[in-house]
Structure formats: structure tokens, C-alpha cells
Structure 1
Amino acid sequence: MRELLIYQSKGEGELFQKQSPEQLMPVDSGAEISVVDLDDNLTYQQMDGFGASFTDSAAYLIHQVLDAEQQAEVMTKLFDPQDGIGLSVLRNPMGASDYARTLYSYNDLPEQETDPELIRFSVAHDEGDIIPLLQQALKLNPAIKLFASPWSAPGWMKTNGSMKAGQLKKEHYGTYANYFVRYIQAYADKGLPIYAVTPQNEPLYEPAHYPSMLMQPEVQIDFIKKHLKPAFIAHQLETKILSYDHNWDRPDYPLTVLEQANEEVDGVAWHWYGGKPSAQSEVFEAFAGKEVHFTEGSGGEWIPPFEQAFSNVMRTGIEILNNHSKSFILWNMALDEHNGPTVPGFGTSTCRGIVQVNQQTRKLVYTLDYYALAHFSKIIRPQAVRIASAAGNEVIRSVAFKNTDQSIAAVLFNDSGKAENIAVKLQGTEVLTFRLEAKSALSILISDSVE
């Protein structure tokens, strides 16, 4: 007997509502029906999952501002696969990012001092808020995979002596590789295995108002090939290395890195602040077998109206998955009522967190990003394999996966300005017909119950 689990979002106030087939709008009789064909004979990437980042700011808000009861609630709703949405990938900054209360690395020194042996290396900062929350998340969902990316090397390793802007000094390439090793080992000692790292967050962007470090492709090739990968091998680390970690508009960067450091690189990480998701497929097709990951995308006040903002996450998320990504990771897990905290000197923040924690009132609000991620994460589980999903009408965006329990998960989004009649078919057999309102999302989990 076939069972259907359905969640629908129709707008503000009606987000990710569980529905029965009978509660869905019936199709208009005699009206044209858009068919969405699902075919599990055609398979693509295996999914790692969906998530966000425990930046210093996000971890502080959840761990220190919320009370124990609120913290337990939000962690359950974020990570528990049954009682929450089961987020299963986390990408953490290695040291301070733009969303941190202070500027810090894991090896901060007074001016003019250096520490090539990393004697003063310590992840003590993360033991306050970040590590306890990561440990709690893994207890709630042992399938979680951890990614890590630095916004900058410690200032003393750089050309300008600062964590803001500048480049890595050539003489410190080996030291910086060992910095990664020490970080991975320190986290492993806390029961937190790091699945993958990128050498640098947004290597082509060098802002002077928050931690950053310019890393051109030839530098990344040299660093990975001659230092980072050899250091991982020497210390028997299985952590994967992902190239790039920047926007879709420069596929030439990862293509160059993969051409020259193919053996040392496991895949490519992407952001959505420029270009199109098809760049992921362009690089994947040139280097089949390399992993594709989407590691950062933030919503915010630059997309102010609710509908446009929700539509952006749904539409883009579906495209990201249809272009071979094994992950879909948004940005801050939590921000406050001022879209912060941010590093001193950052200025005005317009980003949006998965949840909002008001520092004055301690009120906890689940944002539209939480509900958009829920449409994917609740039904597409770790190790699910993407299957073919073809919609007869281009305004109906769709993506589908087959979970390890053989259930089929499909996410649909009506990207038109009017309601559309839809029929979902699996291997040619009709599963469900309904009418989906404009800019509405629907997630369906199709399973066959054992009699």
C-alpha cells in the first residue's frame, strides 16, 4: 500500500504545513495539467544533506543567550530527524569570520612574533560555545558531516600582518598546512571528525573590514599540492580537500585547480553570490568523480519581500541539487535582531539566520530559511540518491531523490504567477494530482508500507 507524507508552504503564516492528500487543492476539471515524471532508473549524486554554519555569533546566541529549555528546543528542531528537520551538514569557520564577536585565529601572537612550530596553537575559543553545540548536534543526528573553512590565516603568517586582507606568505605555506592538521586533530579529540576542508573561504574576495585572505588559483594549487595534501597523508588524515569555495561566476578557478592538482583535490565548493548554478555542472562534467558541494548562501534584507526571499531559497535550492551538489548549506545558524553580532568595524549587516535570537527579549523566531530548508531536509535524508525528475511545464521546478529505505522524496515549487494543476507520476504511474498556488512549495515522501 502506498503512503504519502506531504508538507506545503503557501506563504507567510502557512509555512511547511503537514497535509493529507485530501487537504490539497483539487485540480480544475478540464484545465491543463503539468506532469512531473519521476524515474528512479536514472540516478545521479548521493546526498550528504542540508545545513548551515555555527559561526561564533550563531553559537554564542544559541548557547549563551537562549535559556536551557529554548536551546534544547531549537537544537531538536534543527537536527533531530524525527522531531525536527534533521539538518545533516555543518560548515564551520576556522577562526573568526565576519560573524564573530572578536577577531581571532587559533594561533594569535603579539606583533612581530611568529610560531612556525605552532606551539601556541589552541582551539580553546571554540570550547566555549561552538564545540558543545556541535557535540549536541551529533548526538541528535549522528549522520552529520562537518566541513571547515578559514576566512584567514593567523595574521603573523600573512603579508600584511593582519587577519583582514593580505595574502599568505610563501615561507608559511607548510606552517599553515600544519595549522589545518592541528585543527582537524583537535576537533577529532572532541569527537568531531572533519569530513572536508577548503583552503580558503572566498579566495578572490579581499575585504578590509573582516577576516579575509586573497588566494589566487596558482597559490591554491601550490598550497594544496606541495603542503596541505602531503601534511594530511603524513598524519594519516582522511579529511577531504575541496577547492575554490566561492561564487558560480568564476568556474575557471576550480577548473584551473583541478587541471593541475587533480589527484590532491576531492571536489569543489560553491557560493551563490554571483553567476548561475549551471557552473557546478560545467566543472563536474569536466572532472567527473569530483564531489560538488554548495557551502554558503545567505538570505537577507537585499531580498526584502517575504515571497521573493522564500522563492529564492526554494528555486535556487532545487537548481543547486539538479546541478550535482551533494550538499545545500546556508550561512548563519542564528543571528540577532540586528543581523549580528558582527566583527568590530564590520558596519551594517543585512544577512538572515536560520533562526533569529533577540538579545534583548530572548525571543526565538524560526525564519523562512528554516522552513525552506525543511522542505528539503525533512524528506531527503543522508545517502539519498538523486533520481530523474522532469516537469512538462518549466514554471514547475522539481528535484527528487530515493532514500536508503527506498522511499521517494520530491520537492516541487510553482515559480509562476498563478496556480498550476500538477500530476506527479512515478515510473508512469500517477501518485498525486493537485493544484499548487503561485510561489508555493510542496514536499512529498512516497513510500510503500509493508502489509
Structure 2
Amino acid sequence: MRNITVIQTKKETGRPWERVNNIEWKQKSDNAVSLKLFPKKQYQEWLGFGGAFTEAAAFNWSQLSDANKDAIINAYFNKETGLGYNLGRTAIHSSDFALGNYTYVEDGDVNLESFNIEREQKYVLPFIKAAESEANETLTILASPWSPPAWMKTNGEMNHGGKLIEKYREAWANYYVKYVKAMEAAGVPIWGISVQNEPEATQVWDSCIYTAEEERDFVKNFLGPIMEKNGLGDKKIIIWDHNRDVIVERATTVLSDPEAAKYVWGTGNHWYVSEEFENLSKVHEAFPDKHLLFTEGCIEGGVKLGAWHTGERYARNIIGDMNNWLEGFIDWNLVLDIQGGPNHVGNYCDAPIIADTEKDEVHFNSSYYYIGHFSKFIKPGAKRISHETELADVSLVAFRNEDESIAVVLLNETEANKETSIELEGEGMDLSIPARSITTVVFN
């Protein structure tokens, strides 16, 4: 007899992670079977979930009382009571979610002799160390640059796009090396780097443009060999780090060149612009030995306390990408203030946890609880399993954990309740999926 746990979060009550009782496991379901699980047919292995330790997030965290600092760290990184995050992302100097533009070197220092990450000692490093202490493990951290220093760029500034001046490609590649080694010396190992955050977007904030050919050649001739030469060949290199719309074209250009591909671990994606989840499968089918990682997504346009659609957007994107070979999910800012910042150009966004630093209050958004429906039950090392469904308007994904438990997450964004039954290895159960809800079913 299987032990079944059903957890639901529904808009009607707004109460998170409610346990559903009186679920009966039986030889045959009364309802026509609309969902079948096939645990022996397995796909990608799951790396985990996490969020970004931006300077903005770290600053917000630092402004709170010790009790609220602990509450946030526990909420994200505790494996029993929290989301069990094991991934993270840092910015290589400033992103838009920083207190201003900054770099780690003095202007014109091509040899990087002035390089130091002292600024990160104030906010970012203490935040990461508190998280790692709670998680009781070294987090898997991806580091991404938003822009090279202004003096290395064609437009002479960190913001508004521009390109890396060719004569500085070697110096810029060495900058990643310096960053990885400095973070390690500060007690925070870096797992991997992306070449450039959103390389096709000219933004009013820190940004830098690379064509697909430029990214390919920078990896092939500078970043890959220079990382390797400096003993950092084990660090993962991720390309693209941008939206799904043209991920296939970018991956094809870079990964079709074996001299570039040999340095690349995989492709990173964001969720802005479109929800063309199938594009991830196209990349996987073309380059099955490479990996796919979600590296950023957030709700744009400031804070939306109490909104329900925000959680639904997270779940829809997580399910869509998971069913198309995604291996890990890194959210954007871990904590924002009540305005959705700080952000040095006013590009305010929402986050799963919002801190009112004036009142010393912490608010949890629906997105926090929706992410938990995945991260609390689909553990690192889990493998996605096959399913067949006739269930209209309900999206779902299923994974088998290393302890052989099976977790199924079902998202209902409609205004109607849905009745279904789930069949697993000849036995079944009936399940009611409320309107505007997310349900996780765990079979032990």
C-alpha cells in the first residue's frame, strides 16, 4: 500500500500548503483515468532550485532585524521548513539590482592589478554565507556579468548596451578568473559562469551586446582557454542567459563549433518575451550532451503584494521548462523592498519575499508558495518521468526522487474545479483539483 501525501494551495482560501485528507489508494479508480504515470521511463536529472544574491537583495536583508533575517534565510534555505534552495546566482560587479554602477578595478587597469571584491564583503557575501550555513552545504552558484567596465566598451559606459572592445577581450576573460578566485578566497566557491546576461538586449541599465558569432568566438578564443589555463577548467560555462524566443539560433551557432562547444556546459534561459517552452527541447535534441538551466525570471513592474497570477506564472514556466529538459531553476532577486528595489535605474520588479525595511516586516507572495510546491518535493538528483494525460487545462510534471518517492505537480489556472484520477503501476486514486490552485501529490 502506497503512502500518499496531497498538498494544495488555492486562491479561494489563500492558505498555503494545505494537506488534503481522506485520499484513498485503491486497485482501480472510479473515474476514467485521465493521468497515467510511467516511473520507469525517465528523462533529465534535476539539479535544484535557487535565487539571486543581488546587491539589492543583500542590502534589503541587511536592513532587517536579526529575527527577520533568520526568517528569510530559513524560508529559502531550510530543507525541512523552507524551500530547500541549493542554487544561487551572483552578479560579477553591478547589475541593475545594485545600489549603483560599480566594478572591481580602477579605470584603465588592463592588467587588473587593482582588482578586489571588497564591496561584496558589505552585503552580498554575508547573505550568501548565512544561506550556506542554513542549507548546511555549499550552494551551486552561477556568476553572471551584466557589463564589462565602461572603459572596455565601445559606448564608454556600463549602461545602454554597447560592445566589448576587441582589444580588451583577453583582459575581460581574465576578469572572470579574478572574480572566481576572489570569491573562493572569500569562502564562496563559484560553480559556473555565464558569458553575458541578456546579450541581445540594449537596456538603460548595465548591458552589453554580443552577436551569436561574437559570443562563440569569445568563448572559443578567450574565456574557455583562459579559464582552463588558470586551473578553472572545471567551472561550468553557460551561454545565452536570455529568453527562449531565439535560444535555438544562439545555441546552434555556438555549439555547432566544436572548438567553442568543448568549453560550454550548457545554455541558460530567461522567461521574458515568450513561453515557447518547446524551444528548449529543440536545443536538447540538437545537442543532447549539453545542459539547460533557467537562470532568471521575475514579475516585472514593481511589487504586487497578494496577487495570485504571479505564483501561477512561476508554476506555468517551471512546468513548461521542466517538460522540455530543463535541469534547474534560478529565480531572480531573493528579497526586494516594498517598491520592488533598490534598482539604480528604477527597473522595479516583484520577488517571492518582500521586505518592508522601514517597518521591519516580511511579506510572502503567492510565488513563494507556488515555487515550494516544486522545490519541497522534487529534490536534487530526481529524474523526470513520463506521463500521459487527458486532463484539459491542467498542466503538470512528474519526477521520481532518489528515495523512490514520486512527486507530481498539477497547476489549474482556470476558474473551474477539475476532477481526475491518477494511475501508477496498476493502482489509482481520485483527485479534485480546485480552481486557481496548485497541487502536489507525493507517492512514497
TM-score by length of 1: 0.91
Q: Is the 8 A contact 1:135 1:192 kept in 2?
A: yes
Q: 1:401 is matched with which residue?
A: 399
Aligned to 1:373: 371
Letter in 1 for 2:330: I
Counterpart of 1:438 in structure 2 is: 435
For the residue of structure 2 that corresponds to 1:444, the secondary structure is: strand
Q: Helix, strand or coil for the counterpart of 2:132?
A: helix
Which has the larger displacement, 300-309 or 145-154?
Answer: 300-309
Contact between 1:87 and 1:377, CA under 8 Å: does it hold in 2? yes
1:3-402 alignment, distance < 5 Å: 3-11=3-11, 14-22=14-22, 33=32, 35-62=34-61, 64-109=62-107, 114-141=108-135, 142=137, 144-164=139-159, 165-207=161-203, 209-237=204-232, 238-250=234-246, 251-260=248-257, 261-275=260-274, 276-301=276-301, 306-343=307-344, 346-347=345-346, 349=348, 351-402=349-400
- Give 1:427 shift: 2.4
CA distance in 2, matches of 1:2, 1:333: 36
Residue deviations 1:277-314, cap 9 Å, x none? 11111111111110001111112448969333222221
How far off is 1:389 after superposition? 2.4
Gaps of 5+ in 2: none
- Separation in 2, partners of 1:11, 1:364: 21
SS at match of 2:90: strand
Q: Is the 8 A contact 1:391 1:397 kept in 2?
A: no
Q: 1:13 to 1:135 in 2, by over 3 A?
A: farther
Q: Which moved more, 1:4-13 or 1:164-173?
A: 4-13
CA RMSD of aligned residues (A): 2.0
Q: Assess, with a 3 A threshold, how the Cα gap between structure 1 residues 424 and 143 changes in structure 2: closer, same or farther.
A: farther
CA distance in 2, matches of 1:15, 1:79: 21
Q: 1:93 to 1:196 in 2, by over 3 A?
A: same
Post-superposition Cα deviations, 1:186-214, rounded to whole Å, max 9, x if no partner, equal 1122332211211100000011x211111
Partner of 2:3, secondary structure, is strand
Q: Report the 3-state secondary structure (helix = DSSP H, G, I; strand = E; otherwise coil) of the residue aligned with 2:410.
A: strand
CA contact (8 A) 1:321 1:328 kept: no
Deviates more, 1:385-394 or 1:47-56: 385-394
* Identity percentage of aligned residues: 31
Counterpart in the other structure of 2:414: 416
The 3-state SS of whatever aligns with 2:172 is: helix
Work out whether residues 34 and 421 of structure 1, in 8 Å CA contact, stay in contact via their aligned partners in 2. no
Provide the C-alpha distance between the structure 2 equivalents of 1:419 and 1:241, rounded to a whole number of angstroms. Answer: 44
**1:175: Cα distance to partner?**
0.8
Report how far residue 95 of structure 1 moved: 1.3
3-state DSSP of counterpart to 1:2? coil
- The CA distance in 1 between the partners of 2:302 and 2:112, in whole Å, is 41
In the aligned structure 2, how far is the partner of 1:107 from the partner of 1:325? 36
Contact 1:335/1:353 (CA < 8 Å) preserved in 2?
Answer: yes
2:8–2:20 CA contact under 8 A, matched in 1? no
Q: What secondary structure, in the 3-state scheme, does the structure 2 residue paired with 1:228 have?
A: helix
SS at match of 1:8: strand
Answer yes or no: is the 8 Å Cα contact 1:108–1:154 preserved in 2. Answer: no
Report the CA distance between 1:12 and its aligned residue.
6.7
Find the aligned partners of 2:342 and 2:384 in 1 and give their Cα distance: 37
Q: Is the 8 A contact 1:106 1:121 kept in 2?
A: yes
Any gaps of 5 or more consecutive residues in structure 1? none
Paired with 1:105 and 1:389, the residues of 2 have a C-alpha distance of 48
Letter in 1 for 2:229: A
SS in structure 2 at match of 1:185: helix
Per the normalisation by structure 2, the TM-score is 0.93
What secondary structure does 1:232 align onto? helix
The 8 Å contact of residues 79 and 137 in structure 1, kept in 2 or not, is answered as yes
Work out the CA distance in 2 between the residues paired with 1:424 and 1:302.
39
More off after superposition, 236-245 vs 386-395: 386-395
* Amino acid of the structure 1 residue aligned with 2:401: N
Q: Is the contact made by 2:302 and 2:340 (CA closer than 8 Å) also made in structure 1?
A: no
Q: Aligned letter for 2:288?
A: A
Taking structure 1 as reference, are residues 98 and 294 closer, same or farther at Cα in structure 2, changes over 3 Å only?
A: same
